[in-house]
Amino acid sequence: MKIAVSQLNYHTGNFAENITKIKHSITKAKKENSDLIVFAEMAICGYPPRDFLQYNDFVEKCQHSILEIAAECKDIAVIIGSPSFNKTKKGKKLYNSAFFIENGKIKAIVNKTLLPTYDIFDEYRYFEPNDVFNIIEYKGEKIALTICEDLWNVDKHPLYKVTPMDELVKLSPTLLINIAASPYNYEQNKIRKEILCNNAKEYKLPLVYVNHVGAQSELIFDGGSMVIDNKGNIINELKYFEEDFLIIDTAKPAIDVNKKKYSQIESIHNALVLGIKDYFGKLGFNKAILGLSGGIDSAVTIVLAVKALGKENVLPVLLPSRYSSDHSVNDAVKLAENLGCKYEVINIEEAFNGFENTLKPLFADRPTDLTEENIQARVRAVILMALTNKFGYILLNTSNKSEAAVGYGTLYGDMCGGISVIGDLYKTQVYELARLINKEKHIIPKNTIIKPPSAELRPEQKDSDSLPEYEILDKNLYQYIEMSKSPDDIIAMGFDKEIVYKSCRLVNISEYKRHQSPPILRVSPKAFGMGRRMPIVGKYLL
């Protein structure tokens, strides 16, 4: 059987565009005499549709789109993901379904059994889990059709009481198909391959796996659809971070895997470039603006933005104050020039003075403190936002994860922006990414990489005045945030007690700031945002 694998970049709720892409793929598959074409989970509406699913109208539009596609399915069968209504009058109103379409008709609807409801996933919010198991017979194959998480009940302490493949295998399938919406994080690809290969091996079935590619706000889907033989070997592997299309013949498997292996930091780089590109493209924008300080965070952000949007579409703005060092300004100019970007220099003194004078009667002789530092950061934000309003830019946020974690940033100041580009990278990872960028071509000035980090909001300020060294802080934060270790666990690993308690406390008391952060492009297994939901008035560890 000839099977086409269609790995597409969908746009949530954009039915017209999604259908066009899907039809185009079907036409292509038909031309090459494919028997079947497989699209991803929820391909019809994009993933995750989130609370759009609570509009009947939205789900009806999905149904109409399925019918529209079915009309194209002559001489080819289609497997495609879509929400569908639960007509049993018991349980949640919807299923997360895979439609099997043949000869213009919906021949079978398979519903998802295991509904991920953790981290960034909310599937049980919308869907009723499946509890009937059937296979699909088509052109001599007996297909076990599953949806993403259905193959993932593999922990030592399994998350679900049912394992769908244990049920399906009783019906003697000959082929396993899994349609997925499995977002990228820098650990996901390894785990995903392992789990899929283990499934193929354990159930002795060849596996066709079809994933999404493209970014939906914070979530980045990396693609990497694949075909695995019944011994658990990857036979075909589709591209990462790009749309791709492949036809395989189950009778004549031909090995074709990605020759080039990406390192973890390279995959992060590619994910972030795609994340920026799709955030702008799917919102209908093409021009970005950002504050360029001469520091490492804005340097890495602008490089990624230029790769995503083109140098002509990125405007760096230097916003020096009385505390900005010459080298900062020089480093920023150098970088803009290296990138070939036009840049603006806007001194913030006059606006800052305006606030100093305005507030003088109220502040009287109180000493200068964080207040004045925050005013500077906010003056910069007002200027950048004014430029977005006047000229139609989106402001890129340049905060990193270490800062966001401990609240080392000014709300409504440097925490502003439409999307946070490197907000899921610890400071040490930002440096790693800078080194990767410079390996290809020396773009980021050396001084930006080697000088000690500083917010430059008061004379001689250094991040290390307020925070532990990032080498230590980041490891500590990783244990607390990514690994959910308690302070005592972390101390037991050999970290300094005072630093551990201080950092964990800072994370918890900064929740109110992160609550008002821009969405953050997610590249780690535990990013701030929809995947980490914390109380604001909670008192834990404080």
Ranges within 78-137 binding a second copy (CB under 8 A): 89-93, 117-118, 122, 124-125
Give the number of C-alpha atoms closer than 13 A to the C-alpha of residue 348, restricted to the C-beta side.
27
d(CA 117, CA 114): 9
Q: How many CB atoms lie within 10 A of CB 462?
A: 13
Q: Which residue number, 49 or 409, has a Cβ lying nearer to a second copy?
A: 49
Q: How many CB atoms lie within 10 A of CB 255?
A: 11
Q: Is 287 a catalytic residue?
A: no
Q: Which residue number, 93 or 451, has a Cβ lying nearer to a second copy?
A: 93
**DSSP letter at 96?**
E
CB contact at 8 A, 195 and 151? yes
**DSSP letter at 520?**
B
Q: Is 45 a catalytic residue?
A: no
d(CA 277, CA 364): 48
| Residues 499-538 contacting a second copy, CB under 8 A | 512, 515-519, 530, 532-538
Which of 31, 252, 440, 540 lies at the binding interface for a second copy (CB under 8 A)?
A: 540
Q: Which residue number, 58 or 323, has a Cβ lying nearer to a second copy?
A: 58
| Residues 14-33 contacting a second copy, CB under 8 A | 14, 17
Which among 295, 316, 274 has a CA at the least distance from the CA of 444? 295
- Which residue is associated with the tokens 């391909």? 43
CB contact at 8 A, 335 and 443? yes
Question: Least distance (Å) from a second copy to the CB of residue 383?
Answer: 7
d(CA 459, CA 437): 31
Catalytic member of 2, 21, 41, 334: 41
- Which residue is associated with the tokens 């104050």? 321
| Residues 257-296 contacting a second copy, CB under 8 A | 278-279, 282-283
SS3 275: helix
How many residues bind to a second copy according to rule CB under 8 A?
A: 96
Which of 382, 449, 499, 506 lies at the binding interface for a second copy (CB under 8 A)?
A: 382
The string over 163-193, giving b where at least 16 C-beta atoms fall within 10 Å of a residue's C-beta and e elsewhere, is bbbebbbeeebbbbbbbbbbbbbbebbeebb
Question: Least distance (Å) from a second copy to the CB of residue 14?
Answer: 4
DSSP per-residue letters across 381-446: HHHHHHHHHHH--EEEE---HHHHHHT-S-TTTTT--SEESSTTS-HHHHHHHHHHHHHHS--S-H
| Residues 130-169 contacting a second copy, CB under 8 A | 156-161
Give yes or no for residue 408 binding a second copy (CB under 8 A): no
Pick the piece of the chain touching a second copy (CB under 8 A) from 55-63, 292-300, 442-450, 460-468: 55-63
Which of 3, 5, 37, 52 lies at the binding interface for a second copy (CB under 8 A)?
A: 52
Q: Which residue number, 54 or 103, has a Cβ lying nearer to a second copy?
A: 54
Question: Least distance (Å) from a second copy to the CB of residue 86?
Answer: 9
Which of 488, 492, 497, 498 lies at the binding interface for a second copy (CB under 8 A)?
A: 488
Q: Is 112 a catalytic residue?
A: yes
Q: How many CB atoms lie within 10 A of CB 499?
A: 17
d(CA 257, CA 507): 42
Which of 252, 260, 390, 439 lies at the binding interface for a second copy (CB under 8 A)?
A: 390
Give yes or no for residue 370 binding a second copy (CB under 8 A): yes
The identity of residue 447, as a single letter, is N
- The H or E element that residue 4 is part of is strand 2-7
d(CA 92, CA 129): 9
CB contact at 8 A, 436 and 266? yes
- HEC assignment per residue over 60-78: HHHHHHHHHHHCCCCCCEE
| Residues 324-363 contacting a second copy, CB under 8 A | 344, 346-348, 350-355, 357-359, 362-363
Which of 35, 49, 181, 500 lies at the binding interface for a second copy (CB under 8 A)?
A: 49
Give yes or no for residue 539 binding a second copy (CB under 8 A): yes
- The H or E element that residue 349 is part of is helix 349-363
Question: Least distance (Å) from a second copy to the CB of residue 3?
Answer: 30
| Residues 203-222 contacting a second copy, CB under 8 A | 215-217
Question: Least distance (Å) from a second copy to the CB of residue 220?
Answer: 12
Catalytic member of 73, 148, 416, 504: 148
Catalytic member of 2, 21, 112, 307: 112
| Residues 414-473 contacting a second copy, CB under 8 A | 416, 418
Question: Least distance (Å) from a second copy to the CB of residue 98?
Answer: 22
Question: Least distance (Å) from a second copy to the CB of residue 369?
Answer: 7
Q: Which of the residues are catalytic?
A: 41, 112, 148
